[in-house]
Amino acid sequence: MLNLLLFGPPGSGKGTQSELLAEHYGLEHISTGDLLREEVAKGTELSQDIEALISVGKLVPDHLILDLLFKHINQMDGKKGLILDGFPRTYHQAEELVKEFNARQWPIPLLVALDVEEEELLERLLERGKVSGRSDDHEETIRGRFKVYHEQSEPVIQFFKESHSPMIEIEGVGAIDEVTANLIRGIDQFIKESNN
Ligand code: B4P
């Protein structure tokens, strides 16, 4: 069972590449950003709290995303491996993920970190903002999301190092298909080494 985590700053291509990798490896793709946007679309009381956080570039509370994600995973048939896109985004989410996967006797996922410079990220997200209609794709919020990424999400890398969990870093700049090829090369190498 192959399990992957697509990690990186906002706009690094997590969503874009996760879909392509899910297709290539036959994995179930789960985007926590999409799960939250679906929750917002339902228009419940919780939706308003989530939208208020997303629109200013803040993360939603860990307990909320953990609950939403594992409920979603429990509804799946569980045969396919998973690609989680945008999760974990905090040290605590990473700890809980490993606990949960251990409890299910599933292999700890490979963390695939996409590396892209901030100027390129800003350009991509402003471009996406012209068509996405997303409340968080404008400059002030994007800069806030970069700050949140450095402060709250980068420690996930630290967790993976400390716990000796599998991790690779991949150059995320270039045409979309070039980045996909880089990713597949890195992941295939990991699979080969784990089978030896
Ligand atoms: P997400 O939905 O995860 O969004 P993202 O980080 O902005 O985007 P991503 O990296 O997927 O970029 P994409 O492929 O679209 O999160 C949104 C919000 O939800 C968060 O800020 C947070 O509030 C909340 N949230 C989500 N998960 C959470 C969690 N676990 N805990 C707490 N809160 C959570 O690419 C961006 C653009 O670049 C696209 O337009 C794409 O076409 C373009 N692009 C991609 N690759 C390119 C390339 N190689 N060259 C040129 N352009 C490229």
* Cα 84 from chain centre: 6
Q: Report angle CA 5, 11, 13 to the nearest 5 degrees.
A: 50
In this prediction, residues 17-25 reach a mean pLDDT of: 97
Q: 62: CA distance to ligand 1 center in Å?
A: 18
| Lowest-confidence region among 25-34, 36-45, 152-161 | 36-45
In this prediction, residues 174-178 reach a mean pLDDT of: 97
Ligand 1 atom with the smallest distance to the CA of 128 is: 40
| Nearest alpha carbon, ligand 1 atom 13 | 13
Q: What is the mean pLDDT of the chain?
A: 95
pLDDT tens for 60-114 read: 999 999 999 999 999 887 678 999 999 999 999 999 999 999 999 999 999 999 9
* Cα 143 from chain centre: 18
Sort residue 164 into left (φ over 0), alpha (ψ -120 to 50) or beta.
Answer: left
Position 76 scores a pLDDT of 84
Tell me the residue length of the chain: 196
The percent of residues above 90 in pLDDT, for the chain, comes to 92
Q: pLDDT band at residue 23, thresholds of 50, 70 and 90?
A: very high
Rounded distance, CA 137 to CA 124, Å? 10
